[in-house]
Amino acid sequence: MKLLSKITTRTLDIFPVSVDTVLEIPVVSTAISAGFPSPALDFIDLSIDMNKHLIKRPSSTFYGRVKGQSMKDVGITDGDLLVIDKSITPKNDQIAVCYVDGEFTIKKIKFEQDVCWLIPANDAYQPIRVTSQNDFLIWGIVTHVIKAF
């Protein structure tokens, strides 16, 4: 199978996924309290394979690195890594990677009669009105966001 090379745009770098490797990471077997602390565990005996957890359909899944702040109010910020599934049927209010008139962008999608709106999550940006006059494609749906603190 031939792997795609990295695609670079102003708002997103897109990378193919590989599930050829397994990386099992230890996981705490109980819920982690966001309130009062739970008693400490003496050992962790479970693990999770992040490929299996994050990637349901490898042949249609890509990673994308975010450039910019247009989605900051939903927690997607510059440098975050997106997991994007191209096989998911787009629905209202999903976060999508879209191709509009030669550029990729990440926005929440909203469908109306003959129009699709691309809604940012940052008041500094305006919604984008997409009509049949635009070169437009919903490239994929964001399923996960991986961020570093």
Answer whether residue 54 is part of any domain: yes
Residue 85: what pLDDT?
94
Which positions of the chain have pLDDT values less than 70?
1-10, 22-45
pLDDT of residue 76: 96
Asked if the structure places residue 31 within a domain, the reply is: no
Alpha-carbon span 11 to 103, nearest angstrom: 8
Whether 2 is in a domain gets the answer no
Do residues 64 and 15 lie in contact, with contact meaning Cβ atoms separated by under 8 Å? yes
Closest CA to 93 of 148, 145, 141, 26: 141
Domain count, the chain: 1
pLDDT at 23: 60
Please identify which of the residues 33, 47, 70, 147 carries the catalytic annotation.
Answer: 70
* Residues of the domain holding 82: 7-21+48-146
Q: What pLDDT does residue 118 have? A: 97
Element (H, E) at 97: strand 95-100
Is residue 70 part of the annotated active site? The answer reads: yes
107 is catalytic: yes
Residue-wise pLDDT tens digits, 118-127: 999 999 999 9
Residues 6+ apart with CB under 8 A from 102: 135
Domain containing 126 — which CATH number?
2.10.109.10
Q: Which of 29, 107, 110, 132 is catalytic?
A: 107
Q: What is the pLDDT of residue 14?
A: 77
Helix (H) or strand (E) holding 2: none
124 falls within a domain: yes
In contact, 126 and 105? CB cutoff 8 Å: no
Q: Where does 42-126 have alpha helices with state H? A: 50-54
pLDDT of residue 3: 44
Q: Are 122 and 87 in contact (CB under 8 A)?
A: no
Supply the pLDDT for residue 142. Answer: 97
